[in-house]
Amino acid sequence: MDLLSIEKFLCDLSVNQVGPIIKKKSGTQHVYDLKTGERAVDIVTAIDKQVEKLIWDSLKEQYPDFKFVGEESYVKGVTTITDDPTFIVDPIDGTTNFVHDFPFSCTSLGLTINKEPVVGVIYNPHLDLLISASKGNGIRINREPFDHKAKLESMGPLYLNKSVVALQPGSAREGNNFKTKMKTYESLLSCDEGFVHGFRNLGSTAMTLAYIATGNLDSYWDGGCYSWDVCAGWCILKEAGGIIVGANPGEWDIPIDNRSYLAVRGTTEEGGKELQKKYVDDFWKCVKGKLSYD
């Protein structure tokens, strides 16, 4: 399968058709639904649904034999990811940003084969920033090759207490998962435990993973995400030498729909894989509780 040509198709679709809608409609959607109830803030707008239909129609015409998983068409307990080539799509990642006209909403288009992310395209039209990759073909920024190794060399050693970590409280603001997140944040900040340099919340999982891949962040820890949040970014990050494991200690090998994740950037240092492993182990020591999602 020509993954590079699929990547190009998704790039064209993102820039020429999806991006202009997101940019034009950002900040205009003051009527929206809360998908997960009154005690959560998981927002969906009519534009999310419109954009997903546009993407699905375009992909179905070009790749009629591929399967499709999208955020707005997902049905709990029914929608599954198989080994077949499957597009996994978030039409607008960062919908809360989109509603509030904060310029970190994007479209995130991924492809899996045998449940492995092999193509990823993320486009933020507010910044006119297109980040893409396909398995074995490296990363491109705005269609030009990106030298991720040179960027990683400039970042220095990969240590937890020298890192900037991306975190998101998520949409659910009650229960054990919320408490686990808050306690873990405190542990990561504490001078007696993780003592990280700082936190960042971009409000978009896709943009966060893209920024880790391009060397602007060191790691990202979160729970409550879905496969469409991470699919494209997972492929891009892996092409940059990064890894994704589970958010909970000991979860080294996870499926794409794990619902909780720890992403860590690559490193060009000698013994890089061992340094990544140590970073993960040190991070897991700061996790206070267990994230669990149905």
198-221 in b/e form (b: 16+ CB < 10 A) is eeeebbbbbbbbbbbbbbbbbbbb
Given 229, 243, 244, 267, the catalytic residue: 229
Given 93, 218, 222, 239, the catalytic residue: 93
147 counts as catalytic: no
Annotated binding-site residue? 38: no
What CA–CA distance (Å, rounded) separates 135 from 3?
A: 7
Given 55, 88, 92, 139, the catalytic residue: 92
Given 43, 45, 55, 95, the catalytic residue: 95
Annotated binding-site residue? 222: no
Annotated binding-site residue? 83: no
229 counts as catalytic: yes
Annotated binding-site residue? 153: no
84 counts as catalytic: no
Given 48, 52, 71, 222, the catalytic residue: 71
Sequence letter at residue 173: R
| Beta strands 164-167; 219-223: pairing state | parallel
Annotated binding-site residue? 12: no
Asked if 103 and 96 count as a contact pair (C-beta separation under 8 A), the reply is no
Tokens representing 193 are 């435990």
282 counts as catalytic: no
Tokens representing 181 are 């997140």
Sequence letter at residue 93: D
Q: Is 203 left (phi over 0), alpha (psi -120 to 50) or beta?
A: left
Given 48, 90, 218, 239, the catalytic residue: 90
Residues assigned a catalytic role: 71, 90, 92-93, 95, 229
Binding site: which residues? 71, 90, 92-93, 229
Binding site for Mg(2+): which residues? 71, 90, 92-93, 229
